[in-house]
Amino acid sequence: MSLRSTLDFLLYDWLDAESLNQRERFADHLRETFDAVLDTCERIAREKYAPFNRTVDTQEPHFDGEKVILPQATHDAHKAFVESGMMSAAQDYDIGGMQLPYTLSAAANSFFAMASVSIGSNMLTSGNANLLMVHGTEMQKEVFAKNEFSGRWAGTMCLSEPQAGSSLSDVATRAVPDGVDFQNDPLGPRYRLTGNKMWISSGDHELTENIVHIVLAKIPDENGKLVPGTRGISLFIVPKRMVDAKGELTGQRNDVALAGLNHKLGWRGTTNTLLNFGEGKYPVDGKAGAVGYLVGAPGKGLHCMFHMMNEARIGVGTAATMLGMAGYHASLEYAKSRPQGRLVKKPDAAGAAVAKDSAAPQVRIIEHADVRRMLLAQKAYCEGALALELYCARLVDEQKTGDAQAADDARLLLEVLTPIAKSWPSEWCLEANSLAIQVHGGYGYTRDFPVEQYWRDNRLNMIHEGTHGIQAADLLGRKVLMEKGRGLQLLAGRMTDTIGRAAKVPALAAHAKALGAALQRIGSATEAAWSTGDPADALANAVPYMQAFGHTVLAWIWLDVAQRALQTDGEKARAVTAGKIGATDYFFHYELPKIGAWLNVVETRDPTCTALPEDAF
């Protein structure tokens, strides 16, 4: 099944993406314009991304003392992406955007993630610019956001610091007003920043003439103290090169210095940097301190950031999914062509239990039961995850363009589903990549085949944009509780709706029942976890909770997909439907039963790990 046919089914048959055209914002679109976007992205990914995925792995970014050098292929891929218009796909027509639904944009971007996840880092640039479009001044939009959308400049998000990775409340970068007239700069209230930022993707490169850093920093109080916690965090635009109010470079460097490149396990096409802000290497107007322009209100930095968190996390989930998908496709192709071994057969009365006819020719490995298991697991993980990501993308569109009730429901559903959309593919599509290696046998362990790189690249996704543990604490500690549990109830309602429809289909009735039981158990586990009211008890097993929650969500997604697939007909749809039903059966037989083990410890608030004395480890 090609990615395109999978997307076509999910977008048009399952999510009814075409109906978005009936909304005012998308009224100029037709199925044909959606298809044209998919065609273009598929072609660029095939021509400019896929052939160079190994190149960007082996030719890691390096610093020559002046510049960060990237392979030519990265420049070419960037150029082609910018020319496609995808950087501002979601933006209004009047600023050069396509007013494309996010659902379509997410689907189209999946081609790039599958072809080479690390050659591009456009998600950061468009995320950065999207944030400025919401929270920036008119001038900030004009000067910074628009130049990012046009591809002239690139963007970053500078959150982490060496001592503050997951713990953003410990951000120590300081921003102090720059002169008495700091309020009067046309680009926004002007500050000087000093501090070190770690793990900054695309923090330095020559792909664009400038880089727009969005930086979390704290403004000291009157005593020079930083406010503890996240309340003290403000957001600043810090360009690598100084610009004027017309968006022209002034010729002066800003005081942002590359302190080091991180050398990673994978995802090597994207520069990852340690940046020093304001160390005095590039003084501006004779003074040390990186010039930054305040975005939004002081102390509201995290609030502004969270606005784009859902989309960023759906983006990470999609990247993980597409790495998994790339491995699935590669190993499927390999399994169809590699001869090895023979099938076991029923022995005659005198024979051993397992007999093989060693004079017969070898069979292709896709004929072996265990290889099929490994392939179907990959399909169930990756196509299921893709369906979930697109479902979430569809909710983003609903939140933006639906009626008030639908929009609010979508918002709340997204709150609950986003930790799953981020964490589930990062765990299970990584497992898919491991299975893809296994299908290849020894060959999969060599760098002559692509699957080992997918596996390395994918390992990042459980770490960045909020680790697995952070997602789990967010889910169980915040999301299922917020608004008195209304998000969880909404999700349960959607599941119950699917269960009701599937229960009437003989091929799915048993699955519908199993999902109902799982849903009920999630509900009771949630209550049991919180029954003492002490978050230390409740969150002691937050990750197993999230794993069970995620598997239940994916079972629901598959059941819904399967139910829709059975309504399609015609010979063309036969294999597609059989594949969806097979993956659904796989998920319900092999995967969903795993939730029992995970929920056991949640329900008992198992203290084994928290109680162990430190010297006993």
| Touching its own copies, residues 477-516 (CB under 8 A) | 477-478, 481
Q: Nearest to residue 461, comparing CAs of 232, 300, 598, 266? A: 266
- What tokens were used for 500? 């009701």
590 near its own copies (CB under 8 A):
yes
Handedness of CA 450, 6, 79, 249 (dihedral sign): negative
Site for its own copies in 516-555 (CB under 8 A): 530, 533-536, 539-544
Q: Which stretch binds its own copies (CB under 8 A): 82-90, 384-392, 450-458, 521-529?
A: 450-458
- Work out whether the CA dihedral 236, 239, 242, 248 comes out positive or negative: negative
- The rounded distance, in Å, linking the Cα atoms of 237 and 205 is 18
Q: How far is the CB of 399 from its own copies (least distance, A)?
A: 24
Which of 2, 64, 8 has its CA nearest to residue 37? 8
- Tokens for 50, please give them: 């896929």
| Residue 320: how many other CB atoms lie within 10 Å | 34
In the numeric block, the tokens 């004779």 are attached to 286
Inter-axis angle of helices 301-337 and 102-115, nearest 10: 50
Question: What residues from 301 to 360 belong to the interface with its own copies (CB under 8 A)?
Answer: 332, 336, 339-347, 353-356, 358-359
Please count the residues of this chain forming the interface with its own copies, following the rule CB under 8 A: 112
Considering only the stretches 29-37, 89-97, 403-411, 599-607, report the one whose residues sit in contact with its own copies under the rule CB under 8 A: 599-607
Buried (b) or exposed (e) across 103-128, using 16+ Cβ within 10 A? bbbbbbbbbbbbbbbbbbbbbbbbbb
User: Residue type for 76, please?
Assistant: D
Inter-CA distances, 395 with 2, 7, 88, 348, 351, Å: 25, 17, 19, 58, 59
Instruction: Tell me the closest approach of the beta carbon of residue 407 to its own copies, in angstroms.
Output: 25
62 touches its own copies (CB under 8 A): no
C-beta of 251 vs 442, nearer to its own copies: 442
Please report how close the Cβ of residue 536 comes to its own copies at its closest, in angstroms: 6
Nearer to its own copies by Cβ, of 227 and 249: the residue is 227
| List 134, 265, 507, 517, residue binding its own copies (CB under 8 A) | 265
- Report the site for its own copies in 189-248 (rule: CB under 8 A): 198-199, 228-230
Residue 344, SS3 per DSSP: coil
Integer Cα distance of 290 and 279 in angstroms? 8
CB of 60 to its own copies, least distance (A): 10
Residue 613 in contact with its own copies, rule: CB under 8 A = yes
Taking CB under 8 A as the binding criterion, the range among 11-19, 20-28, 289-297, 472-480 that sits at the site for its own copies is 472-480
Report the residue from 28, 406, 445, 517 that binds its own copies according to the rule CB under 8 A. 445
Is position 375 an interface residue for its own copies (rule: CB under 8 A)? Answer: yes
Closer residue to its own copies in complex, CB, 180/616: 616
Indicate which single residue of 78, 205, 379, 394 sits in contact with its own copies (rule: CB under 8 A): 379
> How far apart are CB 565 and its own copies at their closest, in Å?
11
Strands (E), 16-161: 62-63, 68-69, 153-158
Please pick, from the candidates 209, 448, 483, 497, the single residue that binds its own copies as defined by CB under 8 A.
448
The site string for its own copies over 20-59 (x = CB under 8 A, - otherwise) reads ----------------------------------------
Pairing, β 174-177 against β 272-277: unpaired
Q: Which is nearer to its own copies, 323 or 543 (CB)?
A: 543
> Least CB distance from residue 506 to its own copies, whole Å?
17
Residue 84 touches its own copies, criterion: CB under 8 A:
no
Residues in contact with 506: Cβ distance below 8 Å, sequence separation at least 6, in sequence order: none
The 3-state DSSP class for residue 519 equals helix
Tokens 């119950």, residue located: 496
Contact by Cβ (8 Å): 369, 439: no
Q: Does 184 bind its own copies (CB under 8 A)?
A: no
Instruction: Considering the complex, state which of residue 179 and residue 339 has its C-beta at the smaller distance from its own copies.
Output: 339
231: which DSSP letter? G
Q: Is 19 in the site for its own copies (CB under 8 A)?
A: no
